[in-house]
Amino acid sequence: MAQIHLEVVTPTGPVISDDVDIVTAPGYGGEFGVLANHAPFLSTIKTGTLSFKKDKQNKFLMVSGGFSEVSNNKITFLVESAEFGHDIDVDRAMLAKERAEKRLAQAMQQSEKINRTRAEAALQRAMARLRTAEQARR
Amino acid sequence: MPGLKDVKNKIQGVKKTSQITKAMNMVASAKLRGAQDKMERFRPYSQKFAAAMSNLSGGMDAGNLPLMEVRSVQAVEIVVVTSDRGLCGSFNSNIISTAEKLMRKYEAEGKKVSIVCIGKKAHQYFRKTGKVRVSFTDIMGTFQMFNAREISMDIAENFMVGESDEVRLVYGKFHSIAVQRPEVEELLPIKPLESEEGTTAEITGAYTYEPEPAEIMEVLLPLYMNVQVYHAMLEVGASEHAARMTAMDNATNACKDMIHDLTQLYNKARQAAITSDLMDIVGGAEALKG
């Protein structure tokens, strides 16, 4: 089967660079899948789960904030953070989620816009972590 | 002539100091390696980011993006990035004096200046001026991307509500282990990057964008700011350790010179003492013979 080259790059270094069968990512308008020889394409990436398939195995990555670019049979993700599902510390993510929920509730009461967006982003990241870890375990 | 004991004590003291400076030199060089590693890992990300930015901003109307908005400048914000700790020669004071000159210049033009400090040394210096809007200290040792994000979000917010019309970034750029120089960069408003002629233009045409390029830019611009702030912090991190290495090396050498001089002084004093003792003995013997 024709493959596409996947690259995930974060500020702390490249996370993966490999030929894979299919990539599914949380794009601006929802999930999108990319197969080999996709047309050039650029999309922003939301916080969520990126998955790819190689050798009949699905792998999951939690990604947050960035964009992806497809060209010349290569898909590059530039994201602020990326973590493999099986590397995620579930307990820590749970704690982070609870903390973010509390902060969000507080920010709602005081109707502070900046704190609210920050808390919302933190909550989204924590949820994405948990979901990714869940998927990776299955 | 100072007493023998005093000189001996002094030599011991200088030796201890040189042990400390030598150890600090080694610690700094180990940390420098870590900081350079961090820079190395960041490079692919920042390069790809810049490439994508110039790809996108090529044929775009920058007017309606809040972070690219060019206004008549009444208030300038200066973001000063220094280290948290001293003992690194003139590294921090060079950055601070560059920032201060910039501040004077803007004030002479009748513009209002506010300051954002990253790193304790900048904070310690500028808090006296009363112009500091916000400070981020004690993060230079361990900072991560999210620190940079928090800082740049704060700066962007301040820009978008109109409290500042222009933001400048002052930091110490790492040229080599021996050379670190203060740099001034424009942070806001973000200028469209010049795309290289030819190659990028034809790719741009073929891309499918989701959402529209303008909307993508809206997402990318804050991220681009993060990249710039993070980059400045990385540079300062590496420069700090390099500057400390040089400073500590100089200090160790100065200690060696001092020990050399003091040892000579000690030997002279000891010889003088022996000579005068001998004179006494010889004098006593002569007297007995007499």
**Residue B197: which pLDDT band, with cuts at 50, 70 and 90?**
very low
**Hey, which residues of B are catalytic here?**
88
- The nearest alpha carbon in chain A to B218 belongs to A44
Bond from prior residue into A26 cis (ω within 30 degrees of 0): no
Q: For CATH 1.20.5, list the domain ranges present in chain A.
A: 88-137
Instruction: Determine contact: B131 vs chain A, CB below 8 A.
Output: no
How does pLDDT run across A86-118, given as a tens digit for each residue? 888 889 889 989 998 998 888 888 777 767 788
> B257 CB contacts (<8 Å, ≥6 apart)?
none
Closest CA of chain B from A40, distance in Å: 5
Q: B209 contacts in A (CB within 8 Å)?
A: 41-43
Given this model, what pLDDT does residue A41 score?
84
Closest of B218, B215, B224 to residue B52, by C-alpha: B224
Classify domain A88-137 by CATH number. Answer: 1.20.5
Residue B195 has pLDDT above 60, yes or no: no
Given this model, what pLDDT does residue B58 score?
61
* Mean pLDDT value of segment B106-121: 92
With a cut of 50, list the residues of chain A below it in pLDDT. none
Of A39, A78, A80, the CB nearest to B52: A78
Of B56, B223, B230, the CB nearest to A66: B223
Q: A44 contacts in B (CB within 8 Å)?
A: 210-211, 215-216, 219-220
CB atoms under 10 Å from CB of B218, counted, come to: 17
Q: Is the pTM of this model over 0.90?
A: no
Instruction: Determine contact: B158 vs chain A, CB below 8 A.
Output: no
Instruction: Determine contact: B206 vs chain A, CB below 8 A.
Output: yes
**Residue B146: which pLDDT band, with cuts at 50, 70 and 90?**
confident
Instruction: Determine contact: B209 vs chain A, CB below 8 A.
Output: yes
Compute the distance between CA of residue B64 and CA of residue B70 in angstroms, rounded to an integer.
10
Given this model, what pLDDT does residue B232 score?
93
Q: Is B151 helix (H, G, I), strand (E, B) or coil?
A: helix
Residue of B143, B207, B235 to mutate for A, most A C-beta atoms under 10 A: B207
**CATH T-level assignment (fold) for domain B26-246:** Pyruvate Kinase; Chain: A, domain 1 (3.40.1380)
Q: Which value does ipTM take for this structure? A: 0.81
Query: B210 or B94: whose pLDDT is higher?
Result: B94
Given this model, what pLDDT does residue B200 score?
45
CB atoms under 10 Å from CB of B200, counted, come to: 14
**Residue B121: which pLDDT band, with cuts at 50, 70 and 90?**
very high
Instruction: Kindly list the residues of chain A whose beta carbon comes within 8 Å of any beta carbon in chain B.
Output: 9-14, 27-29, 32, 39-44, 65-67, 69, 71, 76, 78, 80-81, 114, 118
| Tokens (6 digits) for B130 | 């009363």
Delimit the domains of chain B by residue range: 26-246
- The nearest alpha carbon in chain A to B143 belongs to A12
Residue B201 has pLDDT above 60, yes or no: no
Whether the CB-CB separation of A30 and A12 falls below 8 Å is answered with: no
Does the structural domain A4-86 have CATH classification 2.60.15.10? yes
Mean pLDDT of chain B: 87
